[in-house]
Amino acid sequence: MAITLKEVEHVALLARLYLSEEEKQAYTQQLNSILEYMQKLNELDTAAVEPTAHVLPLKNVLRDDEVRPGLPREKALAGAPEAQDGQFKVPRVV
């Protein structure tokens, strides 16, 4: 069950978190203790319980297919660290 240092590094990479060696050690320990605590839930017999898809007792919340104006482009780009030609400019990804 234990989480390894390697898994912490993997998850950190997926989440684009850059962790120091100390942080990696600390999170490995913390994640393990959280999982250990969650182990308690496994003591319950849930064979007859449907998995919970959502915590709210709601279903089929739908809206009509209506077009409404969105944001003006200047506003859409206002929060972007960099923009060019009306587009978001990001570091090259491939």
Report the interface residues with another protein, using CB under 8 A: 10, 13-14, 16, 53-56, 58-68, 70-71, 73, 76-77, 79, 84-94
Minimum distance, C-beta of residue 13 to another protein, in the bound complex (Å): 7
Is the CB of 47 or the CB of 91 nearer to another protein?
91
Q: Is 3 in contact with 39 (CB distance < 8 Å)?
A: no
Nearer to another protein, 43 or 69 (CB): 69
Distance (Å, rounded) from C-alpha 61 to C-alpha 37?
A: 35
Give φ, ψ of 83 to 5 degrees: -140, 155
- Closest CB to another protein among residues 43, 91: 91
